[in-house]
Amino acid sequence: MKIYILIMALIFSYSAFANLQTLDRHCSKQVDYIRFFHVNGMLTSYDEFESNLAWIDNFHAVWLGKYYRGAKADGNYNNNEVIYEQIYEVAQQKYSDLSIFSPKYRIITAILNGTVSVLNKKDLMILQEVILESVIDANYSIINETDYNNAYQKLNFHMNSCNRIILLGHSQGNFYTNVLFEEIIDNYIYSDGYSTADYPMISLSAIAPPTSSLPKDEYKALVSYLTLDDDSVIDIVRILFGSLPPNFSAKSYFDDSHHGLIDSYLRSNPVASKISEKIEFSIQNQTPFPLFEQHPVKSDAFSHIGYSTINKVLDLKFESGSVYRYYNIPILVWDELYYSTSMGKFFNDNIRGQYPFDKLDIESMTYLKMTSLEPVAKVEK
């Protein structure tokens, strides 16, 4: 009976300790994995959406293969056919109301009948006016709430992994990813209590965005976009609404519109290389939350230590309870510290005074760099 009570007491003690430590340690060990989360644009079937995810996985493997994959690319299917049906119905009504002698009726009839292949400047302005009237009169309010809520819930699931997230929107899907990025930054709290506003580990990659701006200027290092200068779809949107200017030139041999996510952007080596370059820059500028819970250690100098191979940051929790973050630490230095017989001596000899550092205020659970004298570590006897 006494043995049974002792076993139960040990289990209870372990469980109580696990409640305080396991989640934190699990979360801090996941920060060097990345996941892609995709929202598609208009006129994309579900099969095409699935193909997008497969190509994004391939893009990760080929162009960002040095970053460990936390999970297969996922996302939320943006079911937006209702808005196109509305625009088409509005355009049909406006067309039927036109006088057969009007310039608008003449140019639209010629296009529908296939009797015109090139538009002069005046005819193009007339066509743009018709499109603009049809787009403005459509009711957009019914397309966003369900799709957005579904996307937000799925994204929260992936955020809970504590992996780094790359939001990848294409075309109209960027309206969703822009808002998702802002809402996660403003509201998400990691399982260990740190906020994404203080420790953002999410980036936004906007492909062919129809938007006129990108979100949150203070997080601009985490946000990038790429639009081909021959993207005909975005060209029209830019004329009508003023979207972001094109910022890359490349010939697409698979897609005359230069707009498709796969054929114009991910399948083209020069374009995919540029997108990956922008994403990698954003990953390097993400800020991991305190990582010291990764490894409890038996040391007179430290109680916990942690490291990010991506950001090259080393977090040390001293026996006093203070936490310091060191920057630009090579992985070999981390390995030598981790396996050293005297962590305190190795720190004093090889890290202290040689790398930039900050003291972190972990009590407030906010990202606060505190001015402090650099500590000296105790040396094991």
Q: Which domain range does residue 317 map to?
A: 290-370
Residue 88 lies in a domain: no
Tokens encoding 372: 């402090």
Of the listed ranges 35-39, 133-137, 267-271, the one predicted with least confidence: 133-137
Assess whether 321 and 276 both reside in one domain.
no
Assess whether 202 and 263 both reside in one domain.
yes
Q: Look at residues 243, 240, 260, 245 and name the one whose alpha carbon lies nearest to residue 135.
A: 240
Q: Kindly indicate the confidence band of residue 297, based on its pLDDT and cuts at 50, 70 and 90.
A: very high
pLDDT tens-digit profile of 42-59?
778 899 999 999 999 999
Assess whether 238 and 346 both reside in one domain.
no
Q: Kindly indicate the confidence band of residue 9, based on its pLDDT and cuts at 50, 70 and 90.
A: very low
Assess whether 278 and 313 both reside in one domain.
no
CB 315 within 8 A of CB 324: yes
Give dist(CA 286, CA 299) in Å, integer. 30
CB 312 within 8 A of CB 330: yes
Residue 338 lies in a domain: yes
pLDDT at position 52: 97
Region 323-349: mean pLDDT is 96
Assess whether 165 and 296 both reside in one domain.
no
Judged against a pLDDT cut of 60, whether residue 177 lies above it is answered with yes
Assess whether 296 and 254 both reside in one domain.
no
Q: What is the pTM of this model?
A: 0.79
Supply the mean pLDDT for the chain: 83
| Higher pLDDT pick, 235 / 25 | 235
Go through 156-167 and write b for each residue having 16 or more CB atoms within 10 A of its CB, e for each that does not: eebbebbbbbbb
| Residue ending a domain, choose from 284, 303, 327 | 284
- How many independent structural domains does the chain possess? 2
Judged against a pLDDT cut of 90, whether residue 67 lies above it is answered with yes
What proportion of the chain, given as a percentage, has pLDDT over 90? 57
Tell the residue number behind the tokens 């998702």, with chain if given.
Answer: 180
Q: Kindly indicate the confidence band of residue 361, based on its pLDDT and cuts at 50, 70 and 90.
A: confident
CB 330 within 8 A of CB 314: no
pLDDT at position 365: 62
Judged against a pLDDT cut of 50, whether residue 228 lies above it is answered with yes
Judged against a pLDDT cut of 80, whether residue 94 lies above it is answered with no
Assess whether 217 and 354 both reside in one domain.
no
| Residue ending a domain, choose from 231, 254, 284 | 284
| Higher pLDDT pick, 134 / 350 | 350
pLDDT tens-digit profile of 22-34?
334 678 899 999 9
Residue 243 lies in a domain: yes
Judged against a pLDDT cut of 90, whether residue 128 lies above it is answered with no
Assess whether 304 and 360 both reside in one domain.
yes
pLDDT at position 289: 92
Residue 6 lies in a domain: no
Residue 8 lies in a domain: no
Residue 89 lies in a domain: no
| Higher pLDDT pick, 368 / 306 | 306
Q: Kindly indicate the confidence band of residue 105, based on its pLDDT and cuts at 50, 70 and 90.
A: confident
pLDDT at position 15: 33
Residue 334 lies in a domain: yes
Judged against a pLDDT cut of 90, whether residue 114 lies above it is answered with no
Assess whether 66 and 196 both reside in one domain.
yes
Residue 135 lies in a domain: no
Assess whether 146 and 211 both reside in one domain.
yes
Go through 333-361 and write b for each residue having 16 or more CB atoms within 10 A of its CB, e for each that does not: bbeebeebebbbebbbeebbeebebbbbe
Assess whether 176 and 302 both reside in one domain.
no
Assess whether 346 and 215 both reside in one domain.
no
CATH code: domain of residue 265? 3.40.50.1820
Give dist(CA 57, CA 46) in Å, integer. 17
| Residue ending a domain, choose from 284, 318, 345 | 284
pLDDT tens-digit profile of 191-210?
888 899 999 999 999 999 98
